[in-house]
Structure 1
């Protein structure tokens, strides 16, 4: 049997997924079941768009539940106890600036399951994170990205 995929994430990220899973299983499922029940009351199901829409949503939600359950069950909580304080690793926040003179940018490197670039959380699988993990404070690094190499200087690691 193949080894199950692990999902690296912070403890906070796992808790958020567990909360989302609970919401989907309890309230969202109940809402959809109610919508299906109401739509069935409209008669002929073959031309009932409300029924079709509710069934499609039910399918989507059940798929999402299955995906989140997989992530939660195979979560690998990030532990940076063995990592130097000035070394970049998953779970740490890094501030860097693109050379020669761009504005500093700050991101927290997280597992793909909790990535949210708009909140400053980038996936450990992203090109920038891959290029930064293992580097240290003060280092200048060339990061290969789809748009070409990006040269950065690491300003802060926490």
Structure 2
């Protein structure tokens, strides 16, 4: 079972619908067009279109599987002062005194550019269930990172 935000769930549904209603008909049309061009054993366009169709169908099945096991997390029932999935956490690196803000998200919603880190990442795992003011140590490739939790938001 995968927990995710309502926004992440809605985006996943929209992406799946786009693949099924827009991309798949285009690929099916490309396969039919290439098939009409003659000998299939030497038809590069046909093989490329079939390969694209297989790739798209695989992506569709993957997204359907995620949605079949997805559960939207109700944030109203959670403690506001503890780091949990979907918490927005402000941290201070104790070595450099730099602040950073991350939101702990499901692996399917993780996007570092948006400040969303996967709940399965080492940093998120180290932060889970800790409270404001606590210091956590995270083992990263560069060594040991000491972080202080400054603020937790839902």
Give the TM-score range, shorter chain: over 0.9
Does residue 129 (structure 1) correspond to residue 124 (structure 2)? The answer is yes
The answer to whether the aligner puts 1:20 opposite 2:15 as a matched pair is yes
Separation of aligned partners in 2, 1:102 and 1:66: 45
List per-residue Cα deviations over 1:31-79 (Å, max 9, x = no partner). 1011111111222111222111111111111111111111111112222
- Runs of 5+ consecutive residues of structure 1 not aligned to the other structure: 1-5
State how far apart, in whole Å, the 2-side matches of 1:138 and 1:147 are: 24
Deviation at 1:149, TM superposition (A): 2.0
Local SS of the residue matching 2:76: coil
Aligned residues: 153
Tell me which residue corresponds to 2:106: 111
- Indicate the residue corresponding to 2:60 in structure 1: 65
Partner Cα separation in structure 1 for residue 88 and residue 105 of structure 2? 9
Query: How much does 1:80 deviate?
Result: 3.1
User: Which of the residues 109, 130, 153 maps onto 2:148?
Assistant: 153
**CA offset at residue 82 of structure 1?**
3.7
- The aligned counterpart of 1:84 is 79
Q: Establish whether residue 139 from structure 1 lines up as the match of residue 139 from structure 2.
A: no
Runs of 4+ with deviation above 3 angstroms: none
RMSD: 1.4
